[in-house]
Structure 1
Amino acid sequence: MTDRGSLDALREAVRVSPDNLPLRRHLAEQFLDAGLLMDAENAFREALALAPGDADLATGLAEAFLRQGKNGAAISALARVGPGEGPPKAGLVVARALAAEGDVAAARPRYWEAVARDSSLADAEFETRLGLPPGHSLGPEPAMAHALEDVPSLPSGPFTGPGSGAEKGSSTVTFADVAGMEQVKQSLRMKLLLPVQQPELFAAYGKRAGGGVMLYGPPGCGKTHLARAAAGELGAAFMSVGLSDILDMYIGSSERNLHSTFEAARRNRPCVLFFDEVDALAARRADMNRAHNRQIVNQFLAEMDGVEGGANEGVLVLAATNAPWYVDAAFRRPGRFDQLVFVPPPDAPARAAILALLCREVPLDELDFRAVSEATDGFAGADLKGVVDRAVEAKLQAAIRVGRPLPLSTADLLGAARAARPTAVAEWMGTARNYVMHANESGVWDELLPWFGGKRR
């Protein structure tokens, strides 16, 4: 493991030579090896800004996402690295992310494709999770043939041309499917939903339907789920935009992709336009060393303002980030992302409600969700899903042995919870504390003060 002194020396070297790609790559890899996942994520992003088409860097970024529980972001980061392309590890990262999202059928061929290219990536425990029997045998050449025949491409949206990976459709999820977080839901209703649902009332006060809200908080706490639920509440179109839909290696293409995305949202209004990991597209311009990257931020700001009066009316822009302190302050001006909404880790009642939702379609014994919620302090929603998945897999194996369904019990969930080791929330809180306590002169992070023993001003 790299010691802190070596990492600090590498940081300084990158600061002195910001355009040195091999140096940035090495720093990002060292952060990843040291388990400094948020630092690794930011370092890989900065390196990708210098080389957007680098599959090795994209794989490193995806692994940083995966290890933080940001499975959707990991899949999105590798959306342009198809089966058999890039490093073999890319296939393994995609497979793990797909399995964590519950799509085991799509994960299997991606896993086999990776192992066929590099047998050292084989993982017996993961194979069991994929439903592969112990002692199975599939030689390298048949494995590759099987993988390349059956591997599905990662999903892309209905758009054509650059940025065509944006996901578009209508959401069937509503706030009823979001456990807890009543204050967050109310903020979204007032800022985004009610102006569309009651336009005459809001017009009387000079308010139009549109604008932006930035959701921020620890990874895995439901920011993307909330965005889908907001679209479902309205019955509006939902467009989810990832980094791979916008960033392009050719100068000017990223800006055109961003403009095309907003134009598509304007044609489909009312529409919820959701930018995940927005800090990668809206980073502070003062931190950027390349004019091209600053121009992407300028284009984003122009699109948020609308090219002409009322252009964005009916376009509800939602963004999510784990690192709001890296977002350019210009995005917080009125009419842009002028409302920051903290999506906290779930408290005990919310954890119990999340567990109940996750277990809706599972055969159940008398379950004490409250006891399980008390045993999962510090778990994010994604961590709780992992607990339920682990418990279900163990119970399914027992059911196969006896030949009949067996109900899930409190003991099953408690056993799975004891085996889980969540870290994302604790790591995020440690980073957030530094900003709240030492870089909060404007008061923008006052909402977080109660989480660290302070009082809101």
Structure 2
Amino acid sequence: MTSADSLIASLTAAVDARPDDLPLRLHLAGLLLDAGRTGEGIAHLGQALTRDPGNTGAQALMQRALGTPPGAGTAPGGGATPGPAAAPDSPGDPLAAYERELADVVPPRFVRSGDEPEPVTGDADRVYDVEASTVRLADVGGMEAVKERLELAFLGPLRNPELRRMYGKSLRGGLMLYGPPGCGKTFLARAVAGEMGAKFLSLSIVDVLDMWMGNSERNLHELFQAARRNAPCVLFLDEVDALGHKRSKVTSSSMRTVGNQLLAELDGMEGDNEGVFVLAATNTPWDVDPALRRPGRLDRMVLVLPPDPEARRAILEYHLRDRPIAGIDLRKVVAATEDFSGADLAHLCETAAEFAMADSVRRGEVRMIGQGDLDRALREVRPSTRPWLATARNVAMFANEGGVYDDLVAYLKRRRLL
């Protein structure tokens, strides 16, 4: 190693230890240029100019490295020459060569990276997952009253276009599914889309809300536009109470405008909603703004209750079908799971499987899931719908204006909860 190389190596180590020492860095850059190591010198000069853009020594060395005549591009005293800025690849730009040197690592300024998505044009959708549902109403166990209401509201008119035209029935509308959590409202919405042969688009609050003013309303409009482009389409508004909360109780002006935008989209004021079937779901319909339930919007409400015995049996069979079972009395389990939601029943089967697996590990031999495992799981898993039913009882007793919750009242009376 020559003495010059040894000096450069020592200065490089010193600069790494003191990166903000500009005189030291400029001395190193000058030695690198003298040694013919122009690229390394330009890299150090670029860092020096980043820290002190007006440093005349760094500017002079950069001009020397780029082969620019001294004084070109600078005014007396080292300031920048008045006038238009240099183009990104102009030789007068002291960082241009530095950018070329590091082009494999850092993309040049003003140039689109190959990883950036191209802007959406035409009818292409942005990031919304418009899917084709394969679920049918036959896959939904029980819930005959709910299926009948859905047939009347959506499926019958779609299957009978001549009768639909005769009676003037529009292929637009909205329906709100409400009931305890975990009782299959989302599954029902997918089943409606599958039964209709329509596309399915699910919308939740995370798809809409944005921190920047106006973006939430734009997101909501684009979601409805995606549904209109893919008509016939079932647009599912999950947790609609979050987007359409009672405006009298909303203190945020941004959430109030989101609610107004939702009303405008449901009215089709900014687009034709023909062929767009809006299904909404909520656990707390009493928190939904009354304006959303006006005719032409979500004007029909369907109560989705905890599964009846037939539905509970179908759900249990579904969650046990691929597990090793023996000696299970499904009738006994069905009778013991009143008020269990579909999610509770799935958790019950999972818990029973955990007990059997843990016992198999302890004994060192695999055994089947038996009735004892389900009995033990029943002692541990409790129905999650009872707190909701307690709240619903108060609503049915004291807030049933206009008979909105008559079906809920009838159910609670049948269960002798009212």
- Taking structure 1 as the reference length, the TM-score comes to 0.60
Task: State yes or no: 1:203 paired with 2:154.
Answer: no
Given candidates 288, 295, 319, the residue that maps to 1:327 is 288
Residue in 1 that maps onto 2:399? 439
Which residue identity lines up with residue 337 of structure 1 in the other structure? L
Given candidates 145, 154, 159, the residue that maps to 1:192 is 154
Structure 1, residues 354-407: CA drift from partner, whole Å, max 9, x if none? 211222222332432110011122211110000011112333445567787644
Structure 1, residues 84-116: CA drift from partner, whole Å, max 9, x if none? xxxxxxxxxxxxxxxxxxxxxxxxxxxxxxxxx
How big is the shift at 1:416? 1.3
Q: Which runs of 5+ in 1 are unaligned?
A: 1-158
1:61-210 aligned at under 5 Å gives the runs: 166-210=128-172
Which residue identity lines up with residue 334 of structure 1 in the other structure? P
How big is the shift at 1:178? 1.3
SS of equivalent residue, structure 1 residue 204: helix
Residue in 1 that maps onto 2:175? 213
1:258-297 aligned at under 5 Å gives the runs: 258-297=220-259
Residue in 2 that maps onto 1:298? 260
Q: Residues 399 and 405 of structure 1 are in contact (CA less than 8 Å); yes or no, is this contact kept in structure 2?
A: yes
Paired with 2:193 and 2:365, the residues of 1 have a C-alpha distance of: 40
How big is the shift at 1:342? 0.2
Task: State yes or no: 1:452 paired with 2:412.
Answer: yes
Which residue identity lines up with residue 448 of structure 1 in the other structure? L
Which residue identity lines up with residue 189 of structure 1 in the other structure? E
Which residue identity lines up with residue 278 of structure 1 in the other structure? V
* Count of matched residue pairs: 294
In structure 2, the CA distance between the partners of 1:259 and 1:365, relative to structure 1 (3 Å rule), is same
C-alpha RMSD of matched pairs (Å): 2.5
Paired with 2:363 and 2:386, the residues of 1 have a C-alpha distance of: 40
Q: Residues 143 and 308 of structure 2 are in contact (CA less than 8 Å); yes or no, is this contact kept in structure 1?
A: no
Q: Residues 215 and 340 of structure 1 are in contact (CA less than 8 Å); yes or no, is this contact kept in structure 2?
A: yes
Task: State yes or no: 1:384 paired with 2:354.
Answer: no
SS of equivalent residue, structure 2 residue 281: strand
Which residue identity lines up with residue 410 of structure 2 in the other structure? P
In structure 2, the CA distance between the partners of 1:268 and 1:289, relative to structure 1 (3 Å rule), is same
Residue in 1 that maps onto 2:273? 312
Task: State yes or no: 1:253 paired with 2:197.
Answer: no
Structure 1, residues 154-176: CA drift from partner, whole Å, max 9, x if none? xxxxx979x96644311222112
Which residue identity lines up with residue 215 of structure 1 in the other structure? L
Which residue identity lines up with residue 419 of structure 1 in the other structure? E
Which residue identity lines up with residue 395 of structure 2 in the other structure? Y
Which residue identity lines up with residue 374 of structure 1 in the other structure? A
- Taking structure 2 as the reference length, the TM-score comes to 0.65
Which residue identity lines up with residue 391 of structure 2 in the other structure? T
Q: Residues 328 and 370 of structure 2 are in contact (CA less than 8 Å); yes or no, is this contact kept in structure 1?
A: yes
Q: Residues 164 and 245 of structure 1 are in contact (CA less than 8 Å); yes or no, is this contact kept in structure 2?
A: no
How big is the shift at 1:448? 1.0
Which residue identity lines up with residue 445 of structure 1 in the other structure? Y
Q: Residues 329 and 371 of structure 2 are in contact (CA less than 8 Å); yes or no, is this contact kept in structure 1?
A: yes
SS of equivalent residue, structure 2 residue 401: coil
Paired with 1:201 and 1:228, the residues of 2 have a C-alpha distance of: 25
Residue in 1 that maps onto 2:192? 230
Residue in 2 that maps onto 1:370? 331
Paired with 1:160 and 1:376, the residues of 2 have a C-alpha distance of: 50
SS of equivalent residue, structure 1 residue 208: coil
In structure 2, the CA distance between the partners of 1:199 and 1:396, relative to structure 1 (3 Å rule), is farther
Q: Residues 349 and 370 of structure 1 are in contact (CA less than 8 Å); yes or no, is this contact kept in structure 2?
A: no
In structure 2, the CA distance between the partners of 1:406 and 1:165, relative to structure 1 (3 Å rule), is farther
Which residue identity lines up with residue 176 of structure 1 in the other structure? A
In structure 2, the CA distance between the partners of 1:447 and 1:410, relative to structure 1 (3 Å rule), is same
Q: Residues 171 and 274 of structure 2 are in contact (CA less than 8 Å); yes or no, is this contact kept in structure 1?
A: yes
SS of equivalent residue, structure 1 residue 274: strand
Task: State yes or no: 1:349 paired with 2:310.
Answer: yes
In structure 2, the CA distance between the partners of 1:294 and 1:338, relative to structure 1 (3 Å rule), is same
Given candidates 416, 423, 429, the residue that maps to 2:389 is 429
Q: Which runs of 5+ in 2 are unaligned?
A: 1-118
Q: Residues 264 and 270 of structure 2 are in contact (CA less than 8 Å); yes or no, is this contact kept in structure 1?
A: no
Q: Residues 348 and 374 of structure 1 are in contact (CA less than 8 Å); yes or no, is this contact kept in structure 2?
A: yes
Paired with 1:167 and 1:368, the residues of 2 have a C-alpha distance of: 41
In structure 2, the CA distance between the partners of 1:354 and 1:229, relative to structure 1 (3 Å rule), is same
Q: Residues 352 and 369 of structure 1 are in contact (CA less than 8 Å); yes or no, is this contact kept in structure 2?
A: yes
Paired with 2:160 and 2:329, the residues of 1 have a C-alpha distance of: 41
Q: Which segment drifts farther, 247-256 or 398-407?
A: 398-407
Q: Residues 196 and 314 of structure 1 are in contact (CA less than 8 Å); yes or no, is this contact kept in structure 2?
A: no
Q: Residues 227 and 318 of structure 1 are in contact (CA less than 8 Å); yes or no, is this contact kept in structure 2?
A: yes
Percent of residue pairs bearing the same amino acid type: 51
Q: Residues 240 and 274 of structure 1 are in contact (CA less than 8 Å); yes or no, is this contact kept in structure 2?
A: yes
SS of equivalent residue, structure 2 residue 298: coil
Given candidates 241, 250, 262, the residue that maps to 2:203 is 241
Residue in 2 that maps onto 1:337? 298
SS of equivalent residue, structure 1 residue 442: helix
Which residue identity lines up with residue 416 of structure 1 in the other structure? A
In structure 2, the CA distance between the partners of 1:234 and 1:363, relative to structure 1 (3 Å rule), is farther
Which residue identity lines up with residue 288 of structure 1 in the other structure? V
How big is the shift at 1:294? 1.6
Task: State yes or no: 1:416 paired with 2:377.
Answer: yes
